[in-house]
Amino acid sequence: MEQALRLAPNALLASEPYAPWAERERAVFGVEHVRACRRSGELALRQGRPDAAAELARRAIDHDPLSELSWQLLMRALCAAGATVEALSAYAELRRRTIDELGLEPGPDSQQLYLDMLRTSPGRTLRADVTEVRQLLRLLRGALESSSGITLALDDRRLVHQAESLVGVA
């Protein structure tokens, strides 16, 4: 299936950009392509191939940038590959897109996945890379700044404490 997806054209019927029948076919193809990418990505993830799953999720997102199921697959695949910061960045991008284009926060399943990623980071040691910590703080600050009812702390120490209390870390 993955090989077939790699062979699929990026733009179906590109030679017929304005024909109504081609537009309908492109829409149907897009939905089926996204669904096939997600199914193959889920299978790759279950088989322990998170890099392949992430690639398939990205392909689905390219066709449907607001598909939360595709973004969730990408975040889970990145976490499974040990790229937690990249997974958190993916959530930040999903959130930006849904707010910008729909005026809505991501759905509850995406929000729960985000909180789970903040709470647990499999395979990580206590000595986190400084770059990773900075990126996490930037993501956290952005999330807190856009949340209603939360006043930002004056310094990062208080910000971290506030964040830990939000996600249930003691």
Decide: 101 and 66 in contact? Cβ < 8 Å. yes
- pLDDT at 44 (0 to 100): 95
Residue 74 CB contacts under 8 Å (≥ 6 apart), including other chains: 54, 57, 58, 61, 87, 90
Mean per-residue pLDDT over the chain, rounded: 78
Q: Is residue 119 part of a domain?
A: no
Q: Is residue 80 part of a domain?
A: yes
Mark whether 102 and 140 lie in a shared domain: no
Mind listing the pLDDT tens digit for each residue in 90-142?
A: 999 999 999 999 999 999 999 999 988 888 765 444 445 556 666 777 777 77
Mark whether 130 and 57 lie in a shared domain: no
Mark whether 129 and 51 lie in a shared domain: no
Mark whether 22 and 90 lie in a shared domain: yes
- Please say which residue of 65, 85, 110 terminates a domain: 110
Number of domains the chain is built from: 2
The residue range of the domain holding 133 is 125-170
Q: Is residue 117 part of a domain?
A: no
Mark whether 71 and 145 lie in a shared domain: no
Mark whether 149 and 98 lie in a shared domain: no
Mind listing the pLDDT tens digit for each residue in 19-44?
A: 676 566 666 667 888 899 999 999 99
The CATH number of the domain holding residue 79 is 1.25.40.10
Question: Please, which pLDDT band fits residue 54 given cuts at 50, 70 and 90?
Answer: very high
Single out the residue of 30, 54, 25, 24 nearest to residue 41, CA to CA.
Answer: 54
Mark whether 141 and 98 lie in a shared domain: no
- Please say which residue of 62, 80, 110 terminates a domain: 110
Decide: 66 and 97 in contact? Cβ < 8 Å. yes
Q: Is residue 118 part of a domain?
A: no
Rounded to whole angstroms, the Cα distance separating 20 from 37 reads 26
Q: Is residue 93 part of a domain?
A: yes
Mark whether 71 and 141 lie in a shared domain: no
Mark whether 165 and 90 lie in a shared domain: no
